[in-house]
Amino acid sequence: MKKVSEVLVDNFKQLGVSHVFGIPGKPVVPLIAECEKQRIPFVLSRHESGAGFAAGGYALVKNKIGIAIGTSGPGGTNMLTAAGQAKAYHSPTLFITGHPSAQGTGKAQGQDSSIFGTDLVKMFEPVTLFSTRVERGDQVELLFKHAVEKATTGRKGPVHLSIPMDVLQEEIDEFKVDISTFTATVVSNKINDVIIKLQKAKRPILLLGKGVHLSKAYEEIKWLVDKWQIPVMTTPGGKGTFTTDHPLSLGSFGLGGNEKATQYLKDGVDTMMVIGSKLSDMSLAGFSSSLYPKEVIHFDIDVTFVQKSLPLPTLTVQGDIKSNLQELQQQTSTLEMKSVTRTPLLLTENEQITESQEKDTPISAAVSINELRKLLPMDSIMFGDDGSHTFYAIKHYDIYEPGTFYFDDVFGTMGHAIAYSIGAKLASPEKNIVCLTGDGCMYMHGTEIATAVDWQLPIIYIVLNNKALDMVDKGMKKMLGYSVGSLYREGLDVTRYAESLGANAYLCRNLEDIRNATNQALKETDGPTVIEIMVDPDEIPPILNRV
C-alpha cells in the first residue's frame, strides 16, 4: 500500500515525465513534496497560467504527457486559459488542481473547489477532453488511467483532475499506467477513393494544418508531395509542417499568406487535399468563392468542422493522419505514376524583401524577420506568440526542417509562447529554442522569463516592440477608420524589464544591432536572452485579408 501522491508520482516517472510545472498551495503540497522525494524537478512558475503553458510546450516537443499542478480556487481558475490553449494545440497536458478536503465538502472551506465553491470540474470541462473530481482513493486508478488515455490517444489534448488533499494522503494499492495498451489507431476505408481522385486530378493542391504536427506525419507528407507532385501551402497553424525550400512549396495561405499561394489558386485548382486543419477564418482569409476547387479531400482525426467552412463536395478521411497516409503509401507502392498527368506548374518566385533603411527611422518588422532567419540555426524551434509579429514570420520566415515552428491560430492566447518555450527547452535541452513575441504579450506573461532565468535556460526571446497592440490597432483602423484602446501611452521598455528579471537583454534599432544581439544570444549557455527590436509602428502587417 502507498499513498495516492506516491502512486501518482510513480506513474509520472512511468510515463517519462522529467519535469512538472506549477505553483504550490496547501491542498497540493503532498503531491509536490512527493515529486521532490522522487527527484522529479518541480518548476516554480510565476503564474499558474504560465505553468500550464510550460507544461503544454513540454508535451508538444517531448511528445509525452506534460503535467501542471495548481492549488484550489484561484490556482485552478488561473490555469483555465492554459488548458484552452493546450486544447487548441492538441497538447497532451494533465492539469491537477487541489481541493481543501473531500470529507469537508459541504462545509465552509477556504478556496473551495467543489460544487459549493468554485466548481473547477465544471469550469475545466469546456477547455479539456476530460475533467473530473477524485473523491476517494479507490477511484484514483480508473480516473487517472482514463485521463491519461484521453490526453495521449486520438485527437490528444488536455485533461483535468481535481484531487482533494485528504485523498492525496490516502493509502491505496499500487498500479501502473501502460499507454501501449490503449486503443490502436483505426485506418479509414476511404483510401482507395483518395487514390482514384488523385489519379484524376489535373491541378491539385495540398493545404496543411497543425494536425500534421499532432500526428508527426512529416515524412509521409513529403512522400505524398514527391510521389504525386502536388504543390503545398500551409495554414498559419500549419506553418512548420513542410519545408519552404522545397520546389513545390507555395508557402503560407490565409492570414500572413504568400502571394504565390494565392496566385496558384487564382490559376485554377480542381482538387484541394486538406490535411489536419479545421479551416478556420484565419486559415481561409482571402479564400473567396472564385478560388474554390471543384472538390475537397479532407484528412482529419476530428471531423467536427469538415464541410462547415467550405460547402464543396468533400471526401472525408477520418483517423490519424500519419496512419492513413502510410496506408495510402502502401496501396500505391506499385502504382506507375506515368498514368498521372498534371497541368504544368507555374510557380512564381518568393516575394523579395527590401532591406534598405533610412537613417533614424524604425526598422521594418518584415526585414527583421528575414534577417533573423539568416542568423538562427536551421533546426531552431520557434514558438510564435499571438499577434502581428508572428504573422510577419508566417509570411517571411523560411522553414528548413519540419517540426521547427509552432503557432496557434485557433485559441490565440497572447503571451503563451513565452512559457511554451520554457517547457520546450526542458523537454529538449539540446535544441535551440526561440520565442517570437511582442510588447503586448510581454505585458501579459513576460514574468515567466524569470522562470527561464532561475533554470538557466538559454532561450532566445525576440520581442518586436511597436508600443501597441498592433494586430488589433491595424484591424480596428481598417474596420472603423480609427482605433480605440490599442496604443500604450507609455510603452514597455522591454530591455530594462528583461534585465530586471535577470535576463541578458539587447536593444536593437537596425540590422547591425540585430546581428550582434543574435550572435551573442547564440553563445549564451546559462540563461535566456531577450532581443528587443524597435519596429516601425506604421508598418502594415499581413493580417488585413480577414473578413
pLDDT tens digit sequence for 206-262: 999 999 999 999 999 999 999 999 999 999 999 999 999 999 999 999 999 999 999
CA 382 to chain centre: 10
Average pLDDT, stretch 428-453? 97
pLDDT confidence of 390, banded at 50, 70, 90? very high
Helix (H) or strand (E) holding 234: strand 232-234
- Rounded average pLDDT over 36-63: 97
- What's the DSSP call for residue 72? S
Evaluate whether 191-334 and 365-534 have a shared fold.
yes
Phi, psi of 459 (to 5 degrees): -85, 145
Domain limits, the chain: 2-181, 191-334, 365-534
Angle at 459 between CA 454 and CA 464, to 5 degrees: 115
Q: How many CA atoms lie within 13 A of 287 on its CB side?
A: 24
104 has pLDDT over 70: no
CATH class of 2-181: alpha beta
Mean pLDDT of the region 461-480:
89
Superfamily of domain 191-334: TPP-binding domain (3.40.50.1220)
Q: State residue 337's pLDDT score.
A: 64
CATH class of 365-534: alpha beta
Query: Taking all residues of the chain, what is their mean pLDDT, rounded to a whole number?
Result: 91
pLDDT band of 102, cuts 50, 70, 90? low
Helix H or strand E encompassing 122: helix 120-124
In this predicted structure, which of 99-113, 192-206, 230-244, 295-309 has the lowest mean pLDDT? 99-113
**CB distance 211 to 327 below 8 Å:** no
- pTM for the model stands at 0.94
Q: Which amino acid is at 19?
A: H
Q: Give 157-203 pLDDT, tens digit per residue.
A: 999 999 999 999 999 999 999 887 776 677 899 999 999 999 999 99
C-alpha cell at 192: 482507395
More confident residue, 353 or 286: 286
At residue 346, does pLDDT exceed 80? no
Give me the pLDDT at residue 21, please.
98
pLDDT at 348: 47
